[in-house]
Every structure is written in C-alpha cells, then in structure tokens.
Structure 1
C-alpha cells in the first residue's frame, strides 16, 4: 500500500490543531471533506488515529506515531519538489541558512569565488526552523547553534563562545562584573529551559516543580523587548548581546555557563560535491565571535 501524501498533510494539520474545524480552515477545505479523508487514511492504515468527543480531539498512540513519521516524510517530499524545480530552472543555486546575528559574507564570497558557475543565495532562519530548512529543501546547508536534533544530518563544528545574561537595566544584578547561574534561579527565563540546562536544573531543584511556561519568541529583538520591560531574563551568546546593544538592557557575564557551539549542518543522505566544498571553505574561514558583526546567533 502506498501512503497518500495529501492525506498525510491533512492528518498533520488535524494532529497539530487537534480540531477538525480549525484544520479545515488552515487547509482551505470543507470540514466534511477533511473528515472523510482522515477516515479513509485510517482505513488504509487499519488504525484509529484520533479519539473524537463532543469536546475534544486527541491522538491515539498510533496517531502519535504517525505524526512523528509523517513530518520528516512530508519535509522530504517538499525537498524533492524544490530540488527538481531548481534543477529544471538551471543554473545551479546553492542556498545557505543562517541565524540572526551570524555574518556569512566572508564564507559566501569565498565559496562563490571557487564556484563561479553557482548562484549562492542565503536564507535567514530561526531557532525553530534552523534544521527544518535542511529537511524540506529550502537550504543546502545551515549554520546552526547546538544543541539540535542531529538525526539525518552531517555536522561540522565551526566555533564556540561564552554566553551572558541579559537583564533589565534596573535589575538588582545589572552592572555586576560577574554572576553565578544560581543568582538567576528565581528569575523567569524567557526561553526554553532546555536551552540553558544549568539554569533549568537549579530552578527545578529549588522550586521542586517545573518553571512556568515560556511563550514562543521568534526573534532576539522580541525577546529583548520583554527583558527591557522587566518580564524576565535571557541567556544569549556574547556576540549577540554585543550585536543587539540597547541602553535599557544590561549584559552581565555568567561564570559557570558552558559555551555555545556553532556548527555547519547538511542532510546526510545528499552526495553533492558542493556541500563538502562549502564545508571546507567554512572550516577555513576565521570566524570572529567577539564583535558586532560576528558569526553568532541568538538562543
């Protein structure tokens, strides 16, 4: 049995929304049509994917497994379409993903000089999609900040740098020459606690519970607006703090934080010589993580 990609896309929309009406609006189809397609998919897979009541829609264990498998499968299908369309358009295009704050000019120029027949493009990524752009074909390589899900990827380290605390300018610790991560244990961290495990572990121990949920901030600018407003603190790489200086936010070194590591990533199954050529060029470039135009990104 072949799995219908269209039905898989319908399934993922419902699984992410957990509401057939909202999923139908997102897909621009009628809700009865969506319901029929999901039932047809369940019949084809011989598995119930959702439990529906008058009040809620929830995934079954089979549905959760399908969601885990469907996302990378759909991303691969998107990548195939993009690469075939790109090949049909000719000439060769090579796209580099980069996070806000990273300057890729030097490596892009060096690579373009070595491959004058290749059109080099760049695409700005975020903490949420720095890996997705590889799996769905939007980028050939991506300069990422670890940790990431490395499954299916080839990784080449580039450099690492210290992280610092971003505090409101009127914070009790603002202006200190150095602090410890324990000094921030009672603060509200404005990012995923897993991105700062040193803070997460101390906060969990002291509070005997989970830190309160963190809204999703898609840019360092947005995050710093909340810091300046006194809604919490953030831990970011030193050069990002330098790049985004502002008078209402104080940058404070943290003594016992591990460094952040920056790496080049690409899809492991691809065999293009250009990928390895770019990796060699990136490895040879002298990245300068201390200045306002350095190759560093946000958390």
Structure 2
C-alpha cells in the first residue's frame, strides 16, 4: 500500500518553508514533497494532478481551481548598483519614464500602462533578464521576492511606491478537498492543531495509575483550600 503523501508546487520566489515545517511537526508520518514549478505552468499542474496544491501568482487562469489569497508582494525595479535610481530608497512610476524596460516572456507583473520603454527583444526568462540588467541593457520590474531570488552584488532594487502589487494565492482543485489538502489549507490559514476542522491526533489515554494519582492530587488540593488557615495571632511580649 502506498503511504500517504502531499505534493506542494511553488513558483519562483514563493517561500513555503514555514508551512512545510509546521506540516512536519504535525504529520511526521505523511511525506510533504516540495516541487518548484514555472509560474506559467502552476495552475495547469494543479489541474493535471501533478501537484496537489500550489503557491502561485495572480492573475492567471484559475478555472477549475479554488483559491486562498495569501499576501500581496511589493513591486520593485531592478537596476545596476551604480544606476541613478539607486540613490533613492523608494521610487515612483514617473522615475521610470524614459527607462528601457526588459520584459521577459515569463513576466508576472500585471501592471497596465507600466512605465518605461519596453525593449523589443524579450528574454526567455526572468533569470535571463537579470543577466541583461547586469549588462546595462535596461531595468526590470518584478515582485520583490524575485529580485531577492536572483540577487547579485552588481545589482540592486527599489520599491515602486505607486506600482500594482503582485498577489500570491494557494490553489487546489475545485470541489471537496481531500483530508490532506484540507489539513494543509488549515495550516496555511493558521488553524491550530486542536481546531475542530483540523486532524490533530487525540490526546493519549491515561493509565489507571495516572488517573488514581490525578484524583489523589485533586483531593489533596481541595483539602488544602478547605483548611486554609486564618491570620496568625501575634504573641504578647
């Protein structure tokens, strides 16, 4: 018989480690497999059953899927460390006017009327675009987690104050979830192990001796309360 397991897909930059740790603490007997998936393939992987659940970025085609919104990522501009924009702690869209912007084919920032002048040549991946930024060919607009993922000493990034944010959600097949998927979504939602919707293990039964000792301790405690002494009288000199 195949042992139970759960496969979690995650797009580049997503960080499922904290939920994986919680899963390992609560379900050490059920293997959780973490599988990196391309941003463009994440939803399809869930629909195809390649992964049971996935951390993915929106917007994307979510037909046939149920979603749990998780958080919104800050959008940043990646530039060389000696770029003029690196002098500020935060920039605006107007600061990117006239900048050459690299737009990789796996771009995940849904920003209508994004600033800058898109370069005609589109790199295959964000990783390829990062190499071109380092070569001085243009700036790159990405979620902050991707800027951190592809960090280089010769590059930096700055938050774009008025940019659209990048939403991250947990996706799983639409319909009644399996017990394992239900448990994982509970962990993601912050559900405690003793929750009525969780699948926490029941408390172990006490032995007869443990029950007897507990009763004796309770009687002793009750007796102490009943015989609680009053204030001590002072002796006359």
Whether TM-score is above 0.5 comes out as: yes
1:191 CA drift (Å): 2.9
Match for residue 197 of structure 1? 111
Q: Judging changes above 3 Å, is the alpha-carbon distance between structure 1 residues 161 and 188 closer, same or farther for their aligned structure 2 residues?
A: closer
Which residue is equivalent to 2:81?
A: 169
Q: Distance in 2 between matches of 1:109 and 1:250?
A: 31
Between the aligned partners of 1:153 and 1:122, the Cα distance in structure 2 is: 19
Corresponding residue of 1:33: none
CA contact (8 A) 1:167 1:251 kept: yes
Post-superposition offset of 1:122: 1.0
Q: Which residue of 2 aligns with 1:74?
A: none
Could you list the per-position Cα deviations for residues 23-82 of structure 1 after superposition, in whole angstroms to 9, with x for gaps in the alignment? xxxxxxxxxxxxxxxxxxxxxxxxxxxxxxxxxxxxxxxxxxxxxxxxxxxxxxxxxxxx
Quote the offset at 1:273 in angstroms.
2.0
Quick one: distance in 2 between partners of 1:183 and 1:176?
10
Greater C-alpha radius of gyration = 2
Matched, 1:188 2:101: yes
CA contact (8 A) 1:157 1:263 kept: yes
- Relative to 1, partners in 2 of residues 1:258 and 1:150: Cα closer, same or farther, differing over 3 Å? same
Residue matched to 2:196: none
CA distance in 1, matches of 2:147, 2:177: 37
Deviation, structure 1 residue 156:
0.2
Unaligned runs of 5+ in 1: 1-88, 286-299
More RCO (CA 8 Å, sep 6+): 2
**Counterpart among 2, 20, 25 of residue 113 in structure 1:** 25
Aligned-pair CA distance for 1:243: 4.3
Q: Aligned residue pairs: how many?
A: 189
| Structure whose residues are more often strand by fraction | 2
Distance 1:240 1:194, change over 3 A: closer
Alignment partner, residue 214 of structure 1: 122
Contact 1:161 1:238 in 2 (8 A): yes
How do 1:146-295 and structure 2 match up within 5 A? 146-186=58-98, 187-191=100-104, 195-200=109-114, 202=115, 212=120, 214-217=122-125, 220-269=126-175, 271-284=177-190
| Structure 1, 267-276 or 151-160: larger mean CA deviation | 267-276
Equivalence for 1:104: 16
- How far residue 233 of structure 1 moved from its aligned partner, in angstroms, is 1.8
